[in-house]
Structure 1
């Protein structure tokens, strides 16, 4: 079975950090209302990518999304005709938030459903109060109608650049998303289809990233290795490859004079490896080298 980290990478969010523990706390702890995840951190739209990838990785039949900053939200699947009250006055159309939350409530009656509410800081504070009522009481009011959510089936993900309304925060489990991965993984040559002869190159790369205070993901490292094979011949080339391939790595840090010896060590190790054997690099673990 793929790990949560692997499944999230397949769904667009790659990170060395593991969120299995946070997910267990959210899903397996007793809850009175709707289980709610508050996605926080410095990741900006990376938080959005995290929420969507996590929702898809759970294999829930329904994933619904609403962005409070979207000025042109997509049209609903079903457009209801205008309605009139008892005096013949035409009622305004249903707001996008009401549309998406009522749909999530309806879907949760029969199927597991994730509702993602993004950029919540842009919403009117009264909407925060309504969302808190949904979480704690499991219903959503629209005009004269009330929609009930099944707390066993509905998950709510909240994304905000500002702290949540206090009562809503107390009902949520917070998870922190960084701009880049914090966890350093120790990669081996055989994970990329290489022989142990490539170990000095992997050691040099590990020392460089440790000095840069960065941690490449598997796919980032695979692309850097490919560049080292096909394109990189100087430290300047390596700087461009590192900046182009590694999310969150700053140009100033790569170009710092203190890192030049480490950059040179990586280039030298790569050149020695190319001389000693013909290599075919792959980002897929377990793929073997083609024989010469």
Structure 2
């Protein structure tokens, strides 16, 4: 596990994928535009978890979040500024949530690294997409005749949408794809889980099952499955329940297909042979191992 993977896992996003390269590209993006990451992927809030974990993993000082799916909070009445001459009293429009968080992020970026995450952007009015595009190239946010400037060195914008972004906005963003489940095969070994060599046949057989399922667990997910195998699993049905229960993004129908049932049934003698010769160690009392590089 890379240090970035480890830090992201500590903040709630675990994956077998490596994102070090995309982070280097984002940091070194050419030009004077605000650096923007367009986080694409299958529908669901995993993209949100990715954005939050990545921002924390990069040790960003300020992380701000706005969800367009949340209803706009309306001000009951406009604020009125009264000047010396009462006849010159003028109304000041309430600040929209997007304007407030954009101006806050700009101000914070003047001194320290700041990430602004804008989620569910497909819900926003199209004119807001255009404003965001202009912000990327002009590095300033305007509303109510006030301008706020973003420090290009410190400001990062993360965009999340369930639909393609406005074309010009997309062209000025670096895209990254976040899968709902990992298909990157990691050839786990027994010592990844602090187990003896006689556990390897079980791990090898499990690896083959996951190849058939076209999904591969993260190490913590795999660890929990092995724990169940050592302490609870007695049948192929129970093994299937543990695999489904601990593995994110798994196709349940495929797991319960005749072909996979046969694979899991064939795996049971391997498990029985392992449990029969292994001096059972209480994994629940041992610390979770860290993924090896």
Q: TM-score, normalised by structure 1?
A: 0.91
CA, structure 1 residues 85+267, in 2 after alignment: closer, same or farther (shift >3 Å)?
farther
Deviations 1:248-267 (A, max 9, x none): 11221111111123202333
Q: Which residue of 2 aligns with 1:78?
A: none
Task: Please say if residues 192 and 283 of structure 1, whose CA atoms lie closer than 8 Å, have aligned partners that are also in contact.
Answer: no
CA, structure 1 residues 182+229, in 2 after alignment: closer, same or farther (shift >3 Å)?
same
2:81 to 74, 81, 84: 84
1:285 and 2:285 correspond = no
Q: Which residue of 1 aligns with 2:15?
A: 15
Q: Where in structure 2 are the equivalents of 1:93-132 lying within 5 Å?
A: 93-132=94-133
How big is the shift at 1:286? Answer: 6.9
Task: Please say if residues 243 and 249 of structure 1, whose CA atoms lie closer than 8 Å, have aligned partners that are also in contact.
Answer: yes
Moved over 4 A (4+): none
Aligned equivalents of 2:4, 2:66: Cα separation in 1: 24
Q: TM-score, normalised by structure 2?
A: 0.90
CA, structure 1 residues 283+39, in 2 after alignment: closer, same or farther (shift >3 Å)?
farther
Number of residue pairs matched? 281
1:152 and 2:153 correspond = yes
How big is the shift at 1:177? Answer: 0.9
Deviates most, 221-230 or 101-110: 221-230
Q: Which residue of 2 aligns with 1:46?
A: 46
Deviates most, 146-155 or 81-90: 81-90
How big is the shift at 1:83? Answer: 4.1
Q: Which residue of 1 aligns with 2:189?
A: 188
How big is the shift at 1:82? Answer: 3.1
Deviations 1:142-175 (A, max 9, x none): 2021100000100000111111111111110011
Task: Please say if residues 85 and 91 of structure 1, whose CA atoms lie closer than 8 Å, have aligned partners that are also in contact.
Answer: no
How big is the shift at 1:229? Answer: 1.3
Q: Which residue of 1 aligns with 2:231?
A: 230
How big is the shift at 1:85? Answer: 7.0
Specify every segment of 5 or more residues in structure 1 that has no aligned partner in the other structure, as ranges: 76-80, 288-292
Q: Which residue of 2 aligns with 1:258?
A: 259
Q: Which residue of 2 aligns with 1:290?
A: none
Aligned equivalents of 1:163, 1:5: Cα separation in 2: 27
RMSD after superposition? 2.1
CA, structure 1 residues 286+20, in 2 after alignment: closer, same or farther (shift >3 Å)?
closer
Task: Please say if residues 193 and 280 of structure 1, whose CA atoms lie closer than 8 Å, have aligned partners that are also in contact.
Answer: no
